[in-house]
C-alpha cells in the first residue's frame, strides 16, 4: 500500500449531548456519556497533530458542541493550530455573549441546522418545543457578529415539500450558503427510515427546485445538494473514499474514517488517548481495511469508476446487506440493488411516527 494522501478535513465530535432529539441524527445509537469526553487540552493536541498531517478544515460537531462549557477554549486551540474552524450547531444553547466569546477565540464560520421552515413541523421533528424560534434568534446574532453563516437543512419525506420555503429562510437569515442534505440512512436515521424516505416524485421535484434556485440566486446563495442513495444507480464517493480525505474523532477519542463507522462490527477503532493521529492515519487496520481498491469485490474491482466512487459507502453496504465489504447496493450492478426498491416500497406503506434520539432510551412519538 502506498502512502495515503494527506487528509483535508477533521470532524471533531466534541460531545453526544444535545437538547434536540432528531430522528435522523447521525450519531451512533449507543451514545457516549459526558464522563467519557476528551478534555480541551487533549483536543488541542489532536488539532496540532491534524494540522501537521495536512488537515486544513476543522468541523466542531456533536451532538451539540455548545453543550460543552469549555467550547471557547477548544476553539482557541483550533485557532492556535492554524485550522479553519466551522461550528456545526443547533444554535439553541448559544446566546450573544457566548457567540461573542467564540468569535473572540477565533471561530471562523457557523453552520446552523434547521429541521423545517415551518415552526410547528420543525419543533416536532427536532423534539424541542420552541427550538425553531431560538434558532432564528441565534441566526440574527451570527449575522450581528459578522461571522459567515451556512444553513444546513436536513430534508426527508416529512419536510421536503417545503424546500422552497427553506431556501427563502436561508435568504432571510443572511446565509451565504445552504446545504440541502437528504438524510443518509445509518444510526438513528436507519431506525426511522420508513418515516423519512422520500418518494421519487418528491426527489425529482426537489431536484428541480434546487436547479432553478441555483440559476435565480447565483451570486447571492450557494446551494449544496446531497441526494439520497436509495434512488441512485451509481454510488457516490462516500467521504471522498475510505481513509483518503477525512478523519472523524468521537467524543471518547476513537478515530474513524467516517462519522458513522462505529456502526460496523469487527473493528477496533484506535484512540487518540493511546496513539497519534499520524500513526492511526497511516498504519491502523481501521483506516487500511477499505482504503484504495485492492479490497473491492467484483463488479467493483473491474469497474472503470472504482477510483471515482471508491466503492461507495461501507456503512450503507453493511446496513443493507450485513457485509461491510459488499458492493454498495446503491450501484445498479450490485447483486443487492433490489434491497433499495424493497426499502422504498416499505416506506411508502409506513406512517409518520418517529423513534427519537435519546441518551439513554428510545422514545416513540407521532
112/66 Cα distance (integer angstroms): 12
Bridge partners, residue 182, by sequence: 155
At residue 248, the 3 state secondary structure works out as strand
Element (H or E) spanning 135, and its range?
helix 131-145
Burial of 71 (C-beta count, 10 Å sphere; 0-12/13-18/19+): buried
Q: Which three cell numbers stand for residue 255?
A: 478515530
Residue 331 annotated as binding? no
Helix, strand, coil share (%) of the chain residues, nearest 5: 40, 15, 45
d(CA 174, CA 110): 12
**Three-class HEC string of 141-190:** HHHHHCCCEEEEEEECCCCHHHHHHHHHHHHHCCCCEEEEEECCCCCHHH
On whether 258 is known to bind a ligand per the annotation, the reply is no
Is 18 one of the annotated binding-site residues? yes
- Name the grid cell of 68: 460543552
Determine the Cα–Cα distance for residues 305 and 234; give it in Å rounded to an integer. Answer: 9
Provide the β-strand partners of residue 254. Answer: 271
**What is the secondary structure of 263-274 as a DSSP string?**
GSTT----BTTT
Pure H helices in 187-313 = 188-191, 193-196, 200-216, 277-283, 285-288, 306-309
Name, in order, each residue with C-beta under 8 angstroms of 271's C-beta and a sequence gap of 6 or more: 252, 253, 254, 255
> What's phi and psi for 248, nearest 5 deg?
-120, 140
Q: Which residues are annotated as a binding site for [4Fe-4S] cluster?
A: 18, 22, 25
Q: Which residues are annotated as a binding site?
A: 18, 22, 25
Amino acid at each position: 500500500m502506498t502512502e495515503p494522501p494527506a487528509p483535508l478535513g477533521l470532524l471533531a465530535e466534541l460531545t453526544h449531548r444535545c437538547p434536540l432529539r432528531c430522528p435522523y441524527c447521525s450519531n451512533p445509537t449507543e451514545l457516549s456519556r459526558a464522563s467519557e469526553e476528551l478534555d480541551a487540552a487533549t483536543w488541542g493536541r489532536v488539532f496540532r497533530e491534524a494540522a501537521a498531517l495536512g488537515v486544513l478544515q476543522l468541523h466542531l460537531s456533536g451532538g451539540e458542541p455548545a453543550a460543552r462549557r469549555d467550547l471557547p477554549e477548544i476553539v482557541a486551540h483550533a485557532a492556535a493550530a492554524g485550522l479553519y474552524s466551522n461550528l456545526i450547531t443547533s444554535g439553541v444553547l448559544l446566546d450573544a455573549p457566548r457567540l461573542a466569546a467564540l468569535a473572540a477565540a477565533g471561530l471562523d464560520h457557523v453552520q446552523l441546522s434547521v429541521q423545517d421552515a415551518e415552526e410547528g413541523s420543525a419543533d416536532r421533528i427536532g423534539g424541542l418545543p420552541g427550538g425553531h424560534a431560538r434558532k432564528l434568534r441565534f441566526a440574527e446574532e451570527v449575522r450581528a457578529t459578522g461571522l459567515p453563516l451556512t444553513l444546513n437543512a436536513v430534508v426527508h419525506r416529512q419536510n421536503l415539500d417545503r424546500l422552497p420555503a427553506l431556501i427563502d429562510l436561508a435568504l432571510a437569515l443572511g446565509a451565504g450558503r445552504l446545504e440541502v442534505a437528504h438524510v443518509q440512512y445509518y444510526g438513528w436515521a436507519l431506525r426511522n427510515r420508513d418515516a423519512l424516505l422520500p418518494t421519487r416524485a418528491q426527489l425529482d421535484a426537489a431536484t428541480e427546485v434546487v436547479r432553478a434556485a441555483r440559476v435565480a440566486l447565483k451570486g447571492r446563495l450557494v446551494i449544496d445538494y446531497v441526494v439520497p442513495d436509495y434512488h441512485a444507480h451509481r454510488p457516490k464517493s462516500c467521504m471522498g473514499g475510505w481513509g483518503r480525505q477525512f478523519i472523524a474523532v468521537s467524543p471518547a477519542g476513537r478515530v474513524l474514517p467516517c462519522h458513522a463507522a462505529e456502526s460496523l462490527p469487527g473493528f477496533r477503532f484506535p484512540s487518540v488517548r493511546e496513539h497519534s493521529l499520524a500513526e492511526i492515519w497511516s498504519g491502523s487496520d481501521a483506516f487500511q481495511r477499505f482504503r484504495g481498491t485492492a479490497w473491492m469485490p467484483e463488479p467493483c474491482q473491474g469497474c472503470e469508476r472504482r477510483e471515482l466512487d471508491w466503492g461507495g459507502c461501507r456503512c450503507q453496504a453493511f446496513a443493507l446487506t450485513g457485509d461491510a465489504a459488499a458492493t454498495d447496493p446503491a450501484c445498479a450492478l450490485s447483486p443487492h440493488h433490489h434491497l433499495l426498491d424493497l426499502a422504498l416500497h416499505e416506506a411508502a406503506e409506513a406512517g409518520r411516527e418517529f423513534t427519537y434520539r435519546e441518551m439513554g432510551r428510545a422514545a416513540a412519538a407521532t
